[in-house]
Amino acid sequence: MAILVIAEHDNASIKSGTLNTVTAAKKIGGDIHVLVAGANAAAAAAAAAKIDGVSKVLLADGANLAHPLAENVAPVVVEVSKAGGYSHVLAPATTTGKNVLPRVAALLDVAQISDIIAVEAADTFVRPIYAGNVLATVKSADAVKVITVRTTAFEAAGEGGNAAVENTAAGAEAGLSRFVGAELTKSDRPELTAAKVIVSGGRALGSAEQFSAVIEPLADKLGAAVGASRAAVDAGYAPNDYQVGQTGKVVAPQLYLAVGISGAIQHLAGMKDSKIIVAVNKDEEAPIFQVADYGIVGDLFSVVPELMSELSK
C-alpha cells in the first residue's frame, strides 16, 4: 500500500498544511510519496524530501503548473496516481486542496472524503458534518481513497527524512483557465491556521479603525494571529481571509481570545477545538460563554486596554 500526498507549496518552500497531511498518511500506514507540482519548484521538492516519513518525492515541473490551477494540476495527479498504483491520495483541506482534489476524485471516478479529523482504519475515517455539530464515521468502498485532511486535527510531521526526488511528467496546458492576478493580504503576524495564539474580533468592534486599534495591538502583545467573525468581515472591519468558521478557516490554537463575538454555531465550528477559549462580551447570555473556559462580561473597549496593561506587568 502506498499513499500519495499532494504538497502545497509556493515553489520555494513547503506550506505547513502538508506536514499535518503527512502525519495523517502515517496513521493510514504504508509508503508515503509526496507530489510537488509546480514551476521551478526544485527547492520545494528538496524541502519535501526532508519531511520525516516520506520515502519518495515526485516533482512535476512545468510552466503550466506555475499557479495551482485545478484544470492543469488535477490531470497530473491522476496520471501519477494511476502510474504509481496508490491506494490513497491525500491533500490538506486548504483552499488549494479543496479546489483540486474533488476534480481528481471525479476523474478517477471515486468519492472524496472531505476534511477528515481521524483515521480509524485504512478505509474508515471520521469527519465533521453540520458545522461540526456531528461527527460521522464513514467507510469507503472505492479502490482509491481520495481524502482532504483537516490540518488542525493532526500534528505536523518533523524533519529528518532523506527521500529521493524523482522527476515526473508535468502534463500539458489544459487551455481551460488562466491565472490573471492575486491580491494577497500582507501580514507580519503568524499564519492563522498555524498560530499558537489567536485574537479574534467580531461585530462589536464597530468599525475597521477600532478593529485595528483594539485587536491588533493585543495580538502583537501576545505574538498572536488575528481572526474575525463573519459579521466583522462582512461589515468590512477585516479582510475575508481572516474569517474563522464553518465557511472560513478552522483553527485550533492553544489560546483563542474571542472579543465581541456572540458565538454563532457557524463560528464555533471553526474554533471550538482550541485548547483554551477566552470570551470578552458585554452580553452574558452570548452563546460564546457556553464554550469559553474563561469569560469576562464587560465592554471590550475597557476590558481590552486593562488586559493590555495586565500583560505588560
Residues of this chain, 24-63, that bind other proteins according to CB under 8 A = none
Q: Look up residue 110 and give its three cell numbers.
A: 471515486
Among positions 211-270, residues that touch other proteins (CB under 8 A) are 222, 230, 233-234, 239-241, 246-247, 249, 254-255, 265-266
Among positions 268-297, residues that touch other proteins (CB under 8 A) are 272, 275-278, 284, 289-297
- From 28, 57, 91, 307, residue interacting with other proteins (rule: CB under 8 A): 307
Tell me how far, at minimum, the Cβ of 118 lies from other proteins, in Å.
11
Tell me how many residues contact other proteins (CB under 8 A).
91
Q: Tell me if 260 sits within 8 A of 278, measured CB to CB.
A: no
Residue 182 found at the interface with other proteins (CB under 8 A): yes
For the sheet with 31-38, list strands across it: 112-116, 145-149, 88-92, 2-6, 31-38, 56-61, 164-168
Residue 79 found at the interface with other proteins (CB under 8 A): no
Per-position DSSP letters for 279-311, written without gaps between them: EEES-TT-GGGGT-SEEEES-HHHHHHHHHHHH
- From 110, 118, 194, 208, residue interacting with other proteins (rule: CB under 8 A): 110
Distances (CA, A) of 19 to 11, 25, 141, 156: 16, 10, 27, 5
CB nearer to other proteins: give 165 or 235.
Answer: 235
Q: Tell me if 42 sits within 8 A of 59, measured CB to CB.
A: yes
Q: Look up residue 45 and give its three cell numbers.
A: 521538492
Residue 195 found at the interface with other proteins (CB under 8 A): no
Q: Look up residue 313 and give its three cell numbers.
A: 506587568
- From 85, 179, 209, 213, residue interacting with other proteins (rule: CB under 8 A): 179
- From 102, 190, 206, 217, residue interacting with other proteins (rule: CB under 8 A): 102
Residue 13 found at the interface with other proteins (CB under 8 A): no
Type of residue at 117:
I
CB nearer to other proteins: give 54 or 271.
Answer: 271
CB nearer to other proteins: give 13 or 133.
Answer: 133
Segment near other proteins (CB under 8 A), from 19-27, 37-45, 125-133, 206-214?
125-133
Closest CA to 157 of 285, 17, 303: 17
Rounded distance, CA 104 to CA 114, Å?
Answer: 13
Residue 106 found at the interface with other proteins (CB under 8 A): yes
CB neighbours of residue 1 within 10 Å: 11
